[in-house]
Structure 1
Amino acid sequence: MSTFVLVHGACQGEWVWEKVKPELEALGHKVATLDLPGSGQDMTPPQQVTLDLYVEKVSDLIKQQNEKVILVGHSMGGLVITQTAEKVHDKIDKLVYLCAFLPKNGESLISKSEGEKGPEFELNEADMTLGPKLETVEETFFNAVEDEALKLASMKRCRPQALAPFTQPVIITEEKFGSVDRIYIETTLDNAIPISFQRRMNTETPCSKVITMEADHAPFLSKPEELVNHLNQVSKS
């Protein structure tokens, strides 16, 4: 059995894994999650939040585990696990990009997204945060979630996202980041990171395996059982 560390994306928190974590644990895996600084229930002021701070928190969680981990990053979490792999590559068995950003050296989320379709964000200059336009949240992030109560609850739990992690480039090397096995789980119904963009990223930075789900940008809500099955299979490969 494996140890999973699950990293959420922008505007969300560890709550996104509530349907996935217990099912993986029921299969015998160990699962660790966290709220990134300034996300979920973490009250770090957004002005203090950086990609480096994200990486520090995730690295600390990984170091607490007794074995190498399978590090999963959703959406913006792809940048976090990429930079984390550069820092603690010897503690990571596999990287799993779940409809996530997969940057090359020197790229930030904003530079990687240039010219691509994606969420419409509004900037709050006073606290240096970005938030998706409320009228677009459902169709952008949760368009295939059939449970209306779950969808509404999830929309209400989203928070504005600190801006700095969007602008900071990753600095990675083939010797460290490049030494870790990479798997990409792509989602064909995704309106936040369209499938064409996902496929461009996992082609530019090749992965040992690409798994395709007919899901939206929230497969942990719309297709949790299928996602758990894929992660379980990843642990056996």
Structure 2
Amino acid sequence: MSTYVLIHGAWQGEWAWELVKPKLESLGHTVVTLDLPGSGQDMTHPQQVTLDAYVTKVADVINQQNEKVILVGHSMGGIVITQTAEHVSDKIDKLVYVGAFLPKNGESLGSKLTGQKGPQFTVNEADMTAVLVPETIENTFLNATNDEAIKEAAFKKMRPQALAPFQQQISISEEKFGSVDRYYMETTLDNAIPIDFQRIMNTETPCKQIISLEADHSPFFSKPDELVEHLHQLR
């Protein structure tokens, strides 16, 4: 069996994986989740949150494992796992992008979003965070999720997102990042990162396999069993 490290997206936390983690563990895998700095229950001040801080935390977790890991990133987590792979490529067996950003060298998440549709937010200038427009959250993130209790809980748990990680350029090489096999799970009903945009990214940066999920931007809630099965098959 394998060790999976699951990285959440913007505005979220390790709580996003609360259905996926036990299902993967029941199949015999080791599963590690974490809150990125300033996310979930991590109280790092937004002005101290950077992409480098994300990468340091994820790399530290990976280095604590006894074997190479399957590193999974959702949404903004795709930026995080990409840069992390440049630092600890020898510790990563596979990179898995789940409805995630897949950047090229020199790009930032902000530059990747230029001209693209995405979540609607306002900027809190005082602490430089992005605050989701509440009435758009369900249609953007949970449009194919039917469980009302899950949707209500997710709505309550989302936090303002530090903007600095959106602005830092990725620095990756073929020798390190490029040496790790990449897999992309498309979320075809996604309103946060539309499927056409996902396919542009996974064409620009080719992956070993493309997997399609008929899911919204939260496949861990709308299609948890299918997501787990696909992850399990990558072991």
TM-score normalized with structure 1 length: 0.99
Q: Give, in angstroms, the shift of residue 121 of structure 1.
A: 1.4
Distance 1:150 1:66 in 2: 34
- Stretches of structure 1 that go unaligned for 5 or more consecutive residues are none
- Deviation beyond 6 Å, 4+ runs, structure 1: none
Distance 1:136 1:109 in 2: 21
Deviations 1:32-90 (A, max 9, x none): 01000000000000000000000000000000000000000000000000000000000
Deviations 1:95-151 (A, max 9, x none): 000000000000001101111111111100001100111110010001111001110
Distance 1:133 1:168 in 2: 24
Instruction: Tell me the residue number matched to 1:12.
Output: 12
Instruction: Tell me the residue number matched to 2:145.
Output: 145
Instruction: Tell me the residue number matched to 1:163.
Output: 163
Deviations 1:158-193 (A, max 9, x none): 000001000111100000000000000000100000
1:37 equivalent to 2:33? Answer no
Structure 2: which amino acid aligns with 1:193? I
Listed as ranges, the matches of 1:1-237 within 5 Å are 1-235=1-235
* Identity rate, percent: 73
Structure 2: which amino acid aligns with 1:96? V
Distance 1:212 1:160 in 2: 29
TM-score normalized with structure 2 length: 0.99
Structure 1: which amino acid aligns with 2:96? V
The secondary structure found in structure 2 opposite 1:170 is: coil
Q: Give, in angstroms, the shift of residue 217 of structure 1.
A: 0.2
Distance 1:14 1:198 in 2: 23
Distance 2:229 2:179 in 1: 25
Structure 2: which amino acid aligns with 1:30? T
Structure 1: which amino acid aligns with 2:99? C
Structure 2: which amino acid aligns with 1:108? S
Distance 2:77 2:102 in 1: 9
The secondary structure found in structure 1 opposite 2:123 is: strand
